[in-house]
């Protein structure tokens, strides 16, 4: 592996991952900053709590693509620069870390579910499909996106290890999974307390700034 191209690819992936599309898309649609309401998490699920479904779908797709495309680029064009699957896995991890701690948005990032899914689908489409199926099953039965994300994250490295064997991807996937579960620590507390929001449940938007009191004109009789 050529170190310089690998470092360039990893840094580029981190910067792509740092694009907080929940904030960018919300601004584009004229919505409140998703970091100001609901779970305060800049992700598709919190954008959905605003009640604006197109914005949530756009956020989900773009967050997934920023994990998928950098990995795919390394897999397609990397070999000519001496970059293999190990670098692709490192690039995927870098994009994921960029989403969690985005340098372009004061390091206030999301939980990384969609970005991690994009990375998995690029590294191993069958693994991505198996992980997504696990996520969908939990969401269908329990309606908790956070619970589904945690379960799917825990299963992903074991799927890779048990079905496809130990390789360079397992370590990167395991690190992503542990970070994703760690970022869901507030959700785990809410799940245990029974106060976690279910899928589709709206959150109250931030209160509008108070208007100055109107001065009533008194009628002179």
Percentage of residues of the chain with pLDDT beyond 90: 78
The whole-number average pLDDT for the span 111-133 is 97
* Secondary structure (3-state) at 202: coil
Q: Please tell me what DSSP assigns to residue 38.
A: T
The token pair that represents 218 in the structure block: 């008194």
CA 85-86-92 angle, to 5 degrees, is 85
Indicate if the pLDDT at residue 183 is higher than 60. yes
At residue 207, the pLDDT reads 45
Domain coordinates in residue numbering, the chain: 3-193
The answer to whether residues 160 and 124 touch, using CB atoms and an 8 Å cutoff, is: yes
Closest CA to 3 of 70, 108, 90: 90
The per-residue pLDDT for range 46-92, each reduced to its tens digit, is 898 888 999 999 999 999 999 999 999 999 999 999 999 999 999 99
The token pair that represents 131 in the structure block: 């992980």
At residue 168, the pLDDT reads 83
At residue 61, the pLDDT reads 97
The token pair that represents 17 in the structure block: 């991952």
The answer to whether residues 176 and 93 touch, using CB atoms and an 8 Å cutoff, is: yes
Who wins on pLDDT, 119 or 219? 119
Query: pTM for the whole thing?
Result: 0.87
Q: What share of the chain is helix, strand, coil (3-state, %, to 5)?
A: 70, 0, 30
The per-residue pLDDT for range 7-51, each reduced to its tens digit, is 999 999 999 999 999 999 999 999 999 999 888 889 998 898 888
What is the C-alpha to C-alpha distance for residues 54 and 58, in angstroms, rounded to an integer? 6
The 10 Å Cβ neighbour count of residue 193 is 8
């Amino acid at each position: 592996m050529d170190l310089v191209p690998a470092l360039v690819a990893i840094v580029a992936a981190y910067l792509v991952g740092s694009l907080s599309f929940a904030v960018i898309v919300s601004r584009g649609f004229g919505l409140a900053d998703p970091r100001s309401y609901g779970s305060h998490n800049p992700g598709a699920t919190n954008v959905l709590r605003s009640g604006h479904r197109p914005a949530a779908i756009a956020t989900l797709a773009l967050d997934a693509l920023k994990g998928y495309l950098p990995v795919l680029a390394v897999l397609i064009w990397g070999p000519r620069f001496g970059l293999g699957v190990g670098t692709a896995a490192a690039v995927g991890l870098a994009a994921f870390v960029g989403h969690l701690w985005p340098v372009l948005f004061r390091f206030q990032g999301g939980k990384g579910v969609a970005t991690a899914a994009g990375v998995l689908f690029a590294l191993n489409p069958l693994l991505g499909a198996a992980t997504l199926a696990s996520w969908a099953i939990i969401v269908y039965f329990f309606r908790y996106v956070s619970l589904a994300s945690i379960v799917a994250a825990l299963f992903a490295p074991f799927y890779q290890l048990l079905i496809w064997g130990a390789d360079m991807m397992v370590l990167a996937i395991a690190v992503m999974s542990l970070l994703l579960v760690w970022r869901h620590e507030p959700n785990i507390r809410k799940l245990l307390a029974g106060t976690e929001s279910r899928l589709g449940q709206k959150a109250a938007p931030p209160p509008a700034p108070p208007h100055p009191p109107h001065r009533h004109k008194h009628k002179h009789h």
